[in-house]
Amino acid sequence: MVKILAIGKGTQDVFLKSDEFDPHKEGKHMYTHLPLGLKMEVEDVHFCTGGNATNVAVTFARQGLESAYLWGLGEDPASQSILQDLDNEGVNTTHVVQARDFQSGYSVIMIATNGERTILNHRGRAFGRTGRHNFNLDVIGDYDWIYPTSLGDGGLPLLREIVDMAEKHNVKVMLNPAGPELAEHDKLVALLDGVDVLCTNKEEMQMLVSGETCEELALHALNYVPVAIVSDGPNGVVATDGKTIVRAGMYEDVPVVDRTGAGDAFASGFLSQWAQGKSLRESIVFASANSTSVVTKIGAKAGILHKHSTLHEMPIHEKPLNQRSKE
Ligand SMILES: Nc1ncnc2c1ncn2[C@@H]1O[C@H](COP(=O)(O)OP(=O)(O)OP(=O)(O)O)[C@@H](O)[C@H]1O
Ligand SMILES: [Mg+2]
């Protein structure tokens, strides 16, 4: 069985829904209009867990892979919810380092009546007071793939350590870099050498390589990595493994309830199939189905597909890349 280790922050996401979160109320933007001292009724509360690494670990587990999670968690209620969710999903949490002065992230997400959201976010503390992690990165050697993401402050040196450890043990790496990593362009590009699959959205790929269209971006990314995937929300996705290029449209035009976790479901959906030897095309179809399902439910995990879910056809084209010369 394929073994995948997800590494990175966990969070508790508390979703609040209320008719009061109406962006058009009294012709004002709702969130400039929460008067001091106000007590506002909220109709609907959903307690979910998030954090990119915990979300992707759940896709891998639901797809029947051996899924494990590595990070620092505290003893706070958010950390306990994260552990409990992962345990319930059958994710191996034995590599988690738990300490009292660690704290998981906590977000309050106000979902407006039009589906937009405003997030109040506490980042958490995964390294304690020393500011230095004490994870045992040697465990990476026990896995076929790793998926590091959202490594918090100072994430890039840690990402470097993780990717180096993977290279040392011949472990494959999928990367879906987050904001702090993308902010350090040169260092991030320097470590792409050790990355096997790079998956980002269009704006993020534009921060890494030049190009206007998803196709140009994916092809340019091939100069750094063997497999490149560029997603563009409801506009679809382009993926290439250097042999063929796949362009896919929207899997299904669904009502979007909450788009939290779309990118995670897409990237992890891809890897859950690709790591099992499925084709580029099959992996993109599943990635699209998984992310489309996630945006129809509140929270990043609820819509993640289980093994043997029935998939349907989608607009997708594949063509060979043989005429392309490396730039
Ligand atoms: N409105 C939508 N309707 C249907 N599917 C969607 C929609 N938005 C996103 N998706 C699905 O999710 C995938 C990833 O979305 P997107 O390209 O927005 O990633 P992202 O910007 O990385 O997301 P995130 O903000 O979660 O990181 C898309 O390729 C698509 O399959
Ligand atoms: Mg993303």
Compute, in angstroms, the gap from residue 246 CA to the centroid of ligand 2. Answer: 19
Task: List residues bridging with 201 in a β-sheet.
Answer: 231
CA–CA separation, 247 and 122 (whole Å) = 37
Handedness of CA 73, 75, 76, 78 (dihedral sign): positive
Establish whether residue 232 lines the binding site of ligand 1, counting it when its CB lies within 6 angstroms of any ligand atom. Answer: yes
pLDDT per residue over 288-325, tens digit each?
A: 999 999 999 999 999 999 999 999 999 999 999 975 44
**What is the model's pLDDT at position 32?**
55
Sheet order of strands, 197-201 included: 66-70, 3-7, 145-148, 172-175, 197-201, 227-231, 237-240, 244-248, 316-320
Establish whether residue 296 lines the binding site of ligand 1, counting it when its CB lies within 6 angstroms of any ligand atom. Answer: no
CB contact set of 180 (below 8 Å; sequence gap of 6+): 151, 152, 153, 155, 156
Q: Which of 292, 273, 181, 156 is nearest to 231 (CA)?
A: 292
Mutate to test the pocket of ligand 1, among 114, 198, 200, 201 (most ligand atoms within 8 A of CB): 201
Q: What is the CATH number of domain 3-25+41-320?
A: 3.40.1190.20
Establish whether residue 239 lines the binding site of ligand 1, counting it when its CB lies within 6 angstroms of any ligand atom. Answer: no
Residue closest by Cα to atom 5 of ligand 1 = 292
pLDDT per residue over 30-59, tens digit each?
A: 555 677 888 888 999 999 999 999 999 999
Residue closest by Cα to atom 19 of ligand 1 = 263
Q: 221 and 213 in contact (C-beta within 8 Å)?
A: no
Q: What angle do CA 71, 74, 80 make, to 5 degrees?
A: 95
Compute, in angstroms, the gap from residue 139 CA to the centroid of ligand 2. Answer: 26
Nearest atom of ligand 1 to the alpha carbon of 203: 21
CA–CA separation, 265 and 303 (whole Å) = 9
Establish whether residue 270 lines the binding site of ligand 1, counting it when its CB lies within 6 angstroms of any ligand atom. Answer: no
Establish whether residue 295 lines the binding site of ligand 1, counting it when its CB lies within 6 angstroms of any ligand atom. Answer: yes
CA–CA separation, 149 and 52 (whole Å) = 6
What is the four-CA torsion angle of 101, 149, 161, 327, rounded to 10 degrees?
A: -160
Q: 105 and 15 in contact (C-beta within 8 Å)?
A: no
pLDDT tens per residue, the chain (327 residues)?
A: 999 999 999 999 999 988 878 777 665 555 556 778 888 889 999 999 999 999 999 999 999 999 999 999 999 999 999 999 999 999 999 999 999 989 999 999 988 877 778 889 998 887 766 677 888 999 999 999 999 998 877 678 999 999 999 999 999 999 999 888 888 899 999 999 999 999 999 999 999 999 999 999 999 999 999 999 999 988 999 999 999 999 999 999 999 888 899 999 999 999 999 999 999 999 999 999 999 999 999 999 999 999 999 999 999 999 999 754 443
